[in-house]
Amino acid sequence: MDPYRIREDFPILKRKINGNPLIYFDNAATTQKPRQVIEAIRDFYENHNGNVHRAVHTLSLEATELYEKTRENIARFINAKNSAEIIFVRGTTEAINLVAYSWGMSNLEKGDEVLVSLMEHHSNIVPWDIVSKIKGFTVKYAKVHDDGTLDYADFESKFTSKTKIACLSHVSNVSGVVNDIKRIAKVAHEHGALMLVDGAQSVPHMKVDVREADIDFLAFSGHKMLGPTGIGVLYGKKDLLEKMNPFQGGGEMIKEVAFSQDKERCYISWNDPPWKFEAGTPNICGGIALNEAVKYLEQIGMDEVLKHERMLTEYAVEKMQTCCNKVAVYGPSELTSKCGIIPFTVDGLSSHDVALFCDNYGIMIRSGFHCAQPLHQVFKLQSSARASFYIYNTREEVDRFIEVLKEIEQL
Ligand SMILES: Cc1ncc(COP(=O)(O)O)c(C=O)c1O
């Protein structure tokens, strides 16, 4: 994998920010887009724009074919058995809300338990909390060790006969820690519970195989894997999706809406999955562009993507620890269990100060609590700065980042 060649495909990387070459280290928030994805968006609107699944005219048929092709390719990408198991949503947040409402509202009752970890992004905590207030079930939180790794013993001990679903991120968006989802899925199934995986930070960075891990639901976002915003995926096992009620009502998600003779009653039957969960006109162009993003990543190879990110992480963490005096890096010391995400603080400065200072030098990093406040409580931090890498980042960029960190330390 050649990041210097890859950079040529990303027009934005030619930009200067505050007179400095752009160094984009906020990839966990969203990634930049290659020419191929930008071109797919332009090509769709210039040549194929029509609504999907509706009309018999050429443009509608072309749009439908392109859109449904994406579904097939994404099914292959995550090794789903059937493209009907791929539901298009806005992103990870909507995917988890879909499960919490659609599955949770009809399968969870008072006395039931939902198991979530303390390292989750808020989008894997808040929907369960909201629905628990409606249905009266309990949400239990599994502990995380001080270094940000999952406390497997605590997680596994919290399963009971009342546990109906376990919800866990595959990779933490704060620490980059990779969780053993296959192990937790096995324990969940032994207890008769389902397993939902938040793949927002894993699907873009490593091979994720839903059948090998035997997970029931997987949520991820297109914009974190070179695709546009507003398109994401919920994978669900077909037999589960078939039994679930729709999330939203409207066009496309029904088979039939018919009134009785006296017009007093309306009879509605649902469409089959995945369309049952895709009410209204979807983000057609977003889906088609996501297909290009997936093809781009497949061409590189997901193992190569992960290898590159791990190399940069090891390089950066080593330099941050040896060249800087006031920088503290959080997360496990064992870097082989991590993805390319580095949370850190600079003694005496707020994370926003650090990020603003970096911005002066054209370096984009994240600051705050990254929608994961509970994990910051574990780290005993108000907030942290976060550098996160992707396929187009280089060791030279890390070197420049370290130089800037050393300047920050002089403040
Ligand atoms: C682990 C994790 N889960 C969920 C989300 C939410 O993703 P989105 O905002 O694309 O819905 C994010 C976004 O940062 C994330 O990192």
Question: Looking at residue 333, what is its pLDDT?
Answer: 85
Chunked into runs of 10 residues, the chain (411 residues) has average pLDDT values of: 97 97 98 98 97 91 96 98 98 98 97 97 96 98 95 98 98 95 98 98 98 98 98 98 94 87 88 94 97 98 97 96 95 86 95 96 93 85 94 98 95 82
Interhelix angle 395-409/351-360, nearest 10 degrees: 120
- Look up the CATH number of the domain holding residue 314: 3.90.1150.10
Domain termination site, one of 245, 270, 298: 298
Residue with tokens 């409606």: 134
Q: Are residues 255 and 118 in the same domain?
A: yes
Question: Looking at residue 101, what is its pLDDT?
Answer: 97
Substitution site in 123, 224, 233 for ligand 1 pocket (most atoms within 8 Å of beta carbon): 123
Q: Which two tokens stand for residue 186?
A: 């096995």
Q: Are residues 113 and 182 in the same domain?
A: yes
How many domains in the chain? 2
Q: Are residues 248 and 329 in the same domain?
A: no
Cα separation, 198 vs 372, in Å, equals 13
Q: Are residues 289 and 381 in the same domain?
A: no
Q: Are residues 96 and 231 in the same domain?
A: yes
Domain termination site, one of 298, 329, 354: 298
The CA 294 to ligand 1 mean position distance, Å, reads 18
Ligand 1 within 6 A of 107 CB? no
Q: Are residues 67 and 182 in the same domain?
A: yes
Q: Whose CA is nearest to atom 9 of ligand 1?
A: 93
Domain termination site, one of 280, 298, 316: 298
Q: Are residues 336 and 277 in the same domain?
A: no
Substitution site in 196, 208, 221 for ligand 1 pocket (most atoms within 8 Å of beta carbon): 221
Q: Are residues 388 and 274 in the same domain?
A: no
Neighbouring residues of 176: CB distance < 8 A, sequence distance ≥ 6: 201, 313, 331, 338, 339, 340, 341, 342, 388
Is the pTM of the predicted complex or chain greater than 0.95?
yes
Q: Are residues 94 and 134 in the same domain?
A: yes
Ligand 1 within 6 A of 198 CB? yes
Q: Are residues 27 and 45 in the same domain?
A: no
Residue span of the structural domain in which 261 resides: 37-298
- Look up the CATH number of the domain holding residue 45: 3.40.640.10
Substitution site in 93, 197, 206, 229 for ligand 1 pocket (most atoms within 8 Å of beta carbon): 93
Question: Looking at residue 337, what is its pLDDT?
Answer: 81
Ligand 1 atom having least distance to the Cα of 198: 3
Catalytic positions, written as ranges: 371
Q: Are residues 106 and 155 in the same domain?
A: yes
Q: Residue 23 to residues 3, 201, 344: CA-CA distances in angstroms?
A: 13, 20, 18
Ligand 1 within 6 A of 173 CB? yes
Question: Looking at residue 262, what is its pLDDT?
Answer: 86
Closest CA to 22 of 358, 399, 316: 358
Ligand 1 within 6 A of 92 CB? yes
Q: Are residues 256 and 352 in the same domain?
A: no
Residue with tokens 């941050």: 320
